[in-house]
Structure 1
Amino acid sequence: MLNELAIRTCGLTKQFDRHIAVNDVDLQVQAGEVYGLIGPNGAGKTTLIRMLAAAEEPTKGEIYINGDRLVGDRDNSTLKQRLGYLPDDFPLYDDLTVWDYLDYFARLYKLKEPRRSQRLREVLELVQLSQKRRSLIATLSRGMKQRLSLARTIIHEPIVLLLDEPVSGLDPIARRQFREIIRVLQEAGMTILISSHVLSDLAELCTSVGIMELGFLVESTTLSQLYQRLARQQIFLTTLGEIDRLTAELNNHALVAGWEVLPGGRVQIDFTGNQEDCADLLRSLIAAGVPLSEFHCTQEDLETIFLKLGHQQAS
């Protein structure tokens, strides 16, 4: 399963009049991955997801879901059964109860009893809404409504889940609850493609990321490779009044790109090495007799990398 592609596109393009929203995108998402799609507003993320969900017809190009081609002029009913799609603006029916709302969609997917009721109980437990099954949707909080929307999206047990800005407008607690559900779905073997502007959430969830800019997929890689290639290490340390000895040692270290003395005698170091290299630097400073009271390694986060890539594209 590791080498199987759950999603593959070839030259996928969508043009609206003279505007090209998605431009010649070759996307590959491995089965079982959580793939994060990021980019500014207008980059083409929603249009790409809509095409993957068969809600938008490509101008040209091909889409494959688990190796089977998604063709716009065919019924694709079997293929669509494998897809779960949560758009960012899907309406809820406030005058229905939670149970009746899910039951309605389960019937649309032709789930029969007793499996239908069993499935409703399963998804309500997963999204932590079992106690709200008889509540009107109008009485739910925004976070509960979003979890209910996710339950509706997975009621038919899809193997590929497409989520467009699912945590938009949610508070930190609701976002954490949503992340926990996504993790459970991934552990169950589902492939998940998710777009979000909350990059800290994606950094916690994703195994790979794709970055879109003006309709192009400008970057697509595993999160670990992205960090390794583009994230600088920074080291913060404090020495007990031995700045001269410290700077002399830093001058001799090839992986130290520069440093700055901060207020209070704390030193910030730009470091081009990895975690093992950080450990080597710490050992060498101690061996040289530099008295340290702090040594802390950090790595640039996904948001910093995204902004850095944006500047590179702009220049």
Structure 2
Amino acid sequence: MISIENLHKRFGTLVALDGISLNLGPGELFGFIGPNGAGKSTTMKILCGLMRQDAGDAVVCGFDPRTNPNAVKRCLGYMPDFLGVYDDLTVDEYLQFFAAAFGIPARNAKRRSVIDSVLQLTDLTEKRHAMVDSLSRGMQQRLGVARVLLHEPKVLLLDEPASGLDPRARIELREILVTLRQMGKTLMVSSHILSELGEMCTSIGIIERGKLIYAGSLEQALAKSGAGERVAVTLEAATDQLPATSPQQAALALEGDPRIARVTVEDQNLLVDLVPAPIGGRLSHHFLIEKLVACGARIGSFTPRGVRLEDAFLRLTKGALN
């Protein structure tokens, strides 16, 4: 659905894209990760025909945006990082306007059916007659998604769709994107909220200074980064009847083990960062439980948290966030 081969783009002396290549298929939800100015928005603008590359090829649904822009527009929906809305329209009027722009006829039931469908998908049916400026930021983002779905595109490019949303709105948006993925659509989603991407994406790409330094599965990215798994352990406090090792003493007992990278004490909790596991494997937690029990600690809870996507991103980009 999306094919990018050796894509280059410069703005004067600034290299925006430096030979990136990427292929995305149907039903793929691709998380595009990178610091500001890394090249995410430039890539999306080239794919939807708003900008031309200096060299290389970009193909969407088998069409080149440079030579067949109308065909690309028919199969692609693009939501930029700044969502412009017409505040003095109702939600229904807003969608009617863009449906007309997409050429969806009003004289039969087609337009009404399409609008009803996207309102239901984005959970905005009850807001049909509400003014756009009365919607929350999260609802306006969902309205933006509804707008780009009107012409039933096969490919969606969403640039920072979760920016500025509260946790509840992010969850609601994530559920919509997962539903679209399950419908077989190809999605490219850029974001700085890395944990959100980790929970919904089938693959990710990490771009820095115009270079795509990784593209593939999340599991392989975590392994390649050298970031290890984190385990949260809550220890029971000692009582007169049941003595127990303090968290500080337990941390000392764990230090020096080659399988442990770092131990952090927070009140009665231990945050244990394990060394990276080999690709395709994982470290057993049994040794950690055995060491804690052996030193006299009483374990209240033991929660493996997995590898944090933020840690993997920082390692793969060498921490260059500015």
Question: For this structure pair, what is the TM-score category when the shorter chain's length is used for normalisation?
Answer: 0.7 to 0.9
Contact kept, 8 Å, 2:7 with 2:17, in 1: the verdict is yes
The one-letter amino acid of 1:111's match is I
Once superposed, what is the RMSD of the aligned Cα atoms? 2.9
Range with bigger deviation, 55-64 or 290-299: 290-299
1:311 aligns with 2:318: yes
- 1:108: which partner in 2? 101
Q: Which amino acid aligns with 2:96?
A: D
Instruction: Letter of the 2:99 partner, please give it.
Output: A
CA drift of 1:17 comes to 2.2
Identity %: 34
Question: Corresponding residue for 1:50?
Answer: 45
Pairwise CA distance, 1:260: 4.0
Equivalent AA in structure 2 for residue 70 of structure 1: D
Partner of 1:133: 128
**Aligned counterpart, 2:78:** 85
CA–CA distance in structure 1, aligned partners of residues 320 and 92 of structure 2? 48
Question: Which residue, 89, 94, 99 being the options, matches 1:96?
Answer: 89
Partner of 1:177: 172
Local SS of the residue matching 2:56: strand
**Are the equivalent residues in 2 in contact too, given 1:259–1:267 (CA < 8 A)?**
no
Q: What is the CA–CA distance in structure 2 between the aligned matches of 1:245 and 1:303, rounded to whole Å?
A: 27
SS in 2 for 1:70: coil
User: What's the TM-score once normalised by structure 2's chain length?
Assistant: 0.83
Query: Residue 147 of structure 1: which of 128, 132, 142 is its match?
Result: 142
AA at the equivalent of 1:299: G
1:232 is matched with 228
Displacement of 1:270 in angstroms is: 3.8
Structure 2 segments unaligned to the other structure (5+ residues):
237-243
| Amino acid in structure 1 at the alignment position of 2:176 | I
Please tell me whether residue 272 in structure 1 is matched to residue 275 in structure 2.
yes
Shift of 1:164: 0.5
8 Å contact 1:25–1:216 — kept in the other structure?
Answer: yes
- Which residue is 2:55 aligned to? 60
How far did 1:36 drift? Answer: 0.8
CA distance in 2, matches of 1:305, 1:133: 42
Change (3 A) 1:182 1:282: same
**Cα 1:218/1:97, change in 2 over 3 Å:** same
Give the 3-state SS of the residue equivalent to 2:318 in structure 1.
helix
**Counterpart amino acid of residue 234 in structure 1:** R
Distance 1:292 1:149, change over 3 A: same
- Partner-residue secondary structure (3-state), 1:36: strand
The 2-side partners of 1:202 and 1:41 are apart by 17
The question of whether the paired residues in 2 share the 8 Å contact of 1:278 and 1:297 is answered with no
My pick for the range that moved more, 256-265 or 75-84, is 256-265
Q: How far apart are residue 298 of structure 1 and its match?
A: 2.9
Is 2:37 the counterpart of 1:38?
Answer: no
Return the structure number with greater helix share: 1
TM-score by length of 1: 0.85
